[in-house]
Structure formats: C-alpha cells, structure tokens
Structure 1
Amino acid sequence: MPFDVLAPLGSRLRLTFLGQPTGVPAWETALEDGDDAGFFAPDSAVWAVHGRMATIPGGIRALLTQTLHPGVLAGVVEHSDYRRDPLARLAGTIRWIFTVTYGDMAAARRACAWVRGRHRPVEGEYVSARGAYEHYSANDPVLAAWVHLAFTDAFLRTYEAFVGPVPGGADRYVAEWAVAGELMGVADPPRSDAALRARLEAYDADGQLGGGPRVEEVVAFLRRPPLDPMLRPGYAILFNAVLESMPARHLALLGLQRPHLGPVPLPVRAAAKATLAVVGRALDPMLPAEAAARRRLARLGAL
C-alpha cells in the first residue's frame, strides 16, 4: 500500500492515541533519560505484548471488563470526562502504560504515583450488584485489583488471539506485569495465568459484578466512540473481534453477543488481524517509547 495512502491514517492514529498528529511527545522522548534499565527488559514478555498492535483491541477489552464492577464504573461515570474528552483519557492511559513498560524505575514509580494522586479525590457511593449501597474509592485495593486483573487479562488474551502465544508463556507475562499492580497499590497480584483466571472468576462468584442501565450506557459509548471518520470502520472491526474473544459470562453481563449471522458466527478475527496490520504499517515500525528506552539501555551498556 503506497505511503501517500497511509500517511493520513498515521496522522489520525497519532492524534487519537497521543494527542498530536506528527512528531513524538516529549514524555516519550524523556524515556531515554534515567539511570537504570527499568522494571522490564527488551526480551521480557511485557515488551513483547505491549509493543504490538494487539494493545489496541486489548484496551477495548480492558475497558469493557472494568465496566463490570459497579464501583469502578461509578468512578468513571461520576469523576471523568470520558464523554466530553475521551481521547484525553486514552492518551493518559497510554502514557502510563508505556512509561511503566519502557521507562526507568523512577519514571515508572512517578507515573503510578501521579495516577494514584489523580484517583485520590475519586470516591462516592454506588449500588453493588447485590443491591446494597457501598462506598467506593478509586485507590481502594479491591477496586484497584479489579482494574489490574481486567488490564492483565485483556492484553494477554488479545495478544494470544491476534498475534499468538506470548514469548515465554502466559505465566511469564502475568508474573512480570504484577509489578505494575504492586506499584498501583494492588495487594498480592496474580503471578500465573491460572491465578489470574481464578481471581477474575472469584469476583463474579462473590456477586461483585453486574450489568444494568449504567453498564449499557457505557457499552453503547464504547461501541461507537466519537472517532475520526477514517478510523470508525477499523474500530468497528476490532470491537467485534474483541467480543468474539471475551467470556460468555462477561458478554451476558454487558448485554452483548459474539458477532453472528443467524446461528453462524462471523469470522471477524481475520478481518481484525488485517486491520491491525494496516495500522502497524501506518505507524512507526518501532514504538517511539521503545526506541527511546533502547537508547537509554545502550547508553547504560544494558543491551
């Protein structure tokens, strides 16, 4: 595909993900600074998973899964501008992920401290899935754990679905990314794929997850966010492919179904892989955050 066709797509993708159509944000360039190799090495499962385009559907799946906890959902609905300025929230999340993944330890800790500081005033009351009024705080260990579990599961499963087996295995990714959970105040995050699955199921078995009108409202927004018209067809393909990858129980709570035509499932995974391949060609071959981290590692003699 000629570059002159992909260039407009690349600029719209950068504007969506990073808040600017050209150039590299200063925070990404700053990942070259620092005095240590960071929490994750270039041959880590974290670098492998977070360095691929599967993080895009991973983000969609993480948001859908996080929505299932009424306490987490209340914090998003009542304390964020996700409807008015969803791209700012997306850019902030991407900055946190890449800083923890590719930055030195001090940068990773600062990024997590900044997010936890932003979460400090996020509190209120919500109606639990059992119908009781509960107090919530975004930094509450139970809610922070659900966010971490949803993130870890989403990025792991979408990598497996759209790329293949994780280098070193799923257990390696879960164990490595547990560091991010600890930095965000999660007590004893899971360190194996089996433990991750068990922890996710325990929230549901304990009656902590639920659907309802508020969930449906957020799901409707996630299905059709206010994206640039050029990005909407590809997003629709990825959204449907994410549904195909999710557990039936979570889909039922979300009021969603896997894509189908009558009784026949639609083959959306191949279309999603093709979409991600085009996105990858429209963007830089190596993430600027990873390139900056590699320059730091070379300077430190750690490559």
Structure 2
Amino acid sequence: MVAAIRRGGSDGDPGLYGPRSVTWQLHGDPVMWIAGVRALYLQALHPLAVRGITQNSDFREDAWGRLLRTARFVATLTYGTTEAAERAGAKVRGIHRRLSLTDPVTGVRHGVDEPELLLWVHCAEIDSYLHVLRRSGYPLTDAQADAYVAENVVSARLVGLDPAGVPADTTALAAYFATVRPKLAATPEAREVDAFLRRPPVHALLVPAREVIWGRFASLAYGTLPPYAQALYGRPAPPPRVVTRRLRAMGGALRCIPPAVRWQLPPKHIMRAVERLGPGSRPSPYKMRRNAATLNSADAAGVRVLRARQR
C-alpha cells in the first residue's frame, strides 16, 4: 500500500503524494475553500504568528492575492511534480529566512521561520482541512485521517520543519493543540484578520454577492472553529448541530458542480496532474470509500516511515 502511494497511477511523476494517497483525494474537494478560511481564523489567534502576517505582508492591501497564493502553494505541493513541489518549498523557506517580527509584549525580534511559528501554521492548516472535510460528510475513516496527518509531515518539511517534531497522527495533533492553547489570544491583529474575513474589500458592485456568498462561507468557517477559539474571538456561533447540518448541505451543493468545471479555477493544478498521470488519477471521495477496507493503521504507520526516509 505504501509503495502504491508513492508510485501513483502511471509512469508520470506522481509528485510528493500520488493519486492513491489520502491527501490527493481530500485536497480536490471544494469544501477545502471553507477549510482554508477556518485555518486563517485559527492561525490568527497565535500572537506571534499573526504578527508575522501583518508585519511582513501586503495582507491589508492584497488579502485576496495572499489567499490565492496560499491555495496555489498547497495545490503545487499536492498535485505538482516532485521538482515543482520542492522548488515551491525552497522559495517559501527563502522568503521566511529574510523576514522577522516584533513580539508585541516583550519587543523581542523573532524570525518568521522559527519552528514554533511554522509548526502552528502547519498544524492549524492540517487540522482545519481534516476537520471541515470530515464534518461536511466527506467519507473518511479514522485510519485514513491518521494517514492524512502522516502524509502531510512532508509538507511541514518543505516549509522548514524537522519532520521528527511534527504530529504524525490525529492523537499527536490533538495533543499539540492542548499544549499550545494557553498561548493563544485575540490580539488586535487577530481581530483585524477577523474583520477582513467577515467583510473582505470588494468592488462596490460585488458587495451584495459578498454578503450572500462569501458571508455564508465565512460564517460556516467560523462556526467550525473549536469552542475555545470562538470564546477568544468573543463572537457567538450557531449550535454545533446547526453548523454541521449547514456544512453538509454546502458540501453537497458544491460537490454537485462538475469537477471539470471546478478544476478550471486557478491554479488548475488538478487538471494538469490528470493530464500528466491519466484519467485514473482524478481525485474523488468515492475512492476513499473503496479504499477504506484496505487502508488501516498499519498503512498509516507505513506512510510515516516513508516520510522519515524522505528527510
């Protein structure tokens, strides 16, 4: 099973994950956009991490551009060739090495590439992707969820983290969040991110669409946050059962859009991957149902061994 994950489905380069990996299937789902917004909400609660965003980027002037660049990076790592993924990782590491931030409390300067900050960003993303997709009705067993976390140790390596210190299953991921929770806070920068995500700047003609379409996306993303995160932001959310019902309805509606249409949106990495590897490489939740009986805890452990060998 592990060898199959790396080989993919054809003689073409399957990239870092390959068409038989859990990551390949999950990241092709349209609910990933909601999960990405949830990740931003969560990431902004780390005082140093959010300072790294607001002090070193054009977030205020080009927030949409930043969101698209993040989506492009994730898509490149998932569906690009091995060379393209490694090149994207090297570029990100190079940018991070040149950036720093000031601690709002102590005044001490920190590098953006400090392991604590990189690990928080990574774990907030992986947790958000996994949580939102599972809650939206995406078919995923516990073993497959563990495999997903294990597979993405490789993405942590690409941004500069030591794989040995990155959670490699859902239990380790939950333990990590338990240790970091006391450090989280809704700083002024976090509230600035919250304000943007609720009402991002758009052209005047698009304001009605923002309220109807984006407002639902952002509200759903916020509603899926853990209770402690919502408590820090100080904004109420609908009861969990209501959020789950709405998320499943949204997921069902988005999945009704033909993949060939959805995958035309930038950055089109899935379309290029299918062209490279053949039609059998198309990501689909049905493949997760089919593979549920064969992917077990031993497979997840095997993926962890594989990623360790790639260091």
Q: TM-score, normalised by structure 2?
A: 0.75
Question: What is residue 256 of structure 1 aligned with on the other side?
Answer: 235
Following superposition, the deviation at residue 276 of structure 1 comes to: 4.5
Structure 2: gaps (5+ residues): 1-10, 283-311
Question: What is residue 269 of structure 2 aligned with on the other side?
Answer: 289
Following superposition, the deviation at residue 285 of structure 1 comes to: 4.4
Among 175, 192, 198, the residue aligned to 1:198: 175
Following superposition, the deviation at residue 72 of structure 1 comes to: 0.9
Distance 2:150 2:269 in 1: 22
Compute the RMSD of aligned alpha carbons.
2.6
Following superposition, the deviation at residue 234 of structure 1 comes to: 2.2
Following superposition, the deviation at residue 171 of structure 1 comes to: 0.3
Structure 1: gaps (5+ residues): 1-33
Question: What is residue 242 of structure 1 aligned with on the other side?
Answer: 221
Structure 2 letter corresponding to 1:259: P
Question: What is residue 70 of structure 1 aligned with on the other side?
Answer: 47
Structure 2 letter corresponding to 1:290: I
Residue aligned with 1:124, SS? strand
Residue aligned with 1:219, SS? helix
Deviating 4+ runs (over 6 angstroms): none
Greater shift, 273-282 or 104-113, is seen at 273-282
Alignment CA distance shift 1:290-1:146 (3 Å)? same
Would you say 1:160 and 2:140 are equivalent positions? no
Residue aligned with 1:267, SS? helix
Would you say 1:104 and 2:63 are equivalent positions? no
Residue aligned with 2:108, SS? strand
Following superposition, the deviation at residue 278 of structure 1 comes to: 4.6
**Structure number having the greater helix percentage:** 2
Following superposition, the deviation at residue 137 of structure 1 comes to: 1.6
Distance 1:212 1:278 in 2: 35
1:46/1:176 contact within 8 Å kept: yes
Following superposition, the deviation at residue 270 of structure 1 comes to: 3.6
Q: How do 1:40-55 residues align onto structure 2 when only pairs under 5 Å count?
A: 40-55=17-32
1:124/1:135 contact within 8 Å kept: yes
Distance 1:38 1:282 in 2: 25
1:170/1:193 contact within 8 Å kept: yes
Distance 2:72 2:281 in 1: 24
Structure 1 letter corresponding to 2:225: M
Would you say 1:220 and 2:220 are equivalent positions? no
Following superposition, the deviation at residue 86 of structure 1 comes to: 1.2
Question: What is residue 170 of structure 1 aligned with on the other side?
Answer: 145
Q: Percent identity?
A: 32
Residue aligned with 1:284, SS? helix
1:237/1:268 contact within 8 Å kept: no
Following superposition, the deviation at residue 297 of structure 1 comes to: 2.2
Structure 2 letter corresponding to 1:154: S
Distance 1:169 1:36 in 2: 23
2:73/2:88 contact within 8 Å kept: yes
Among 83, 102, 119, the residue aligned to 1:145: 119
Per-residue CA deviations over 1:143-190 (Å, capped at 9, x if unaligned) read: 001100000001000101113342652101100111100111122211
Distance 1:197 1:183 in 2: 22
Distance 2:246 2:278 in 1: 38
Following superposition, the deviation at residue 289 of structure 1 comes to: 1.6
Alignment CA distance shift 1:39-1:148 (3 Å)? same
1:99/1:111 contact within 8 Å kept: yes
Following superposition, the deviation at residue 132 of structure 1 comes to: 3.4
2:223/2:237 contact within 8 Å kept: yes
1:54/1:163 contact within 8 Å kept: no
Following superposition, the deviation at residue 51 of structure 1 comes to: 0.4
Would you say 1:90 and 2:67 are equivalent positions? yes
Greater shift, 282-291 or 74-83, is seen at 282-291
2:19/2:281 contact within 8 Å kept: no
Per-residue CA deviations over 1:94-134 (Å, capped at 9, x if unaligned) read: 1100000001111101111112222233203113xxx4343
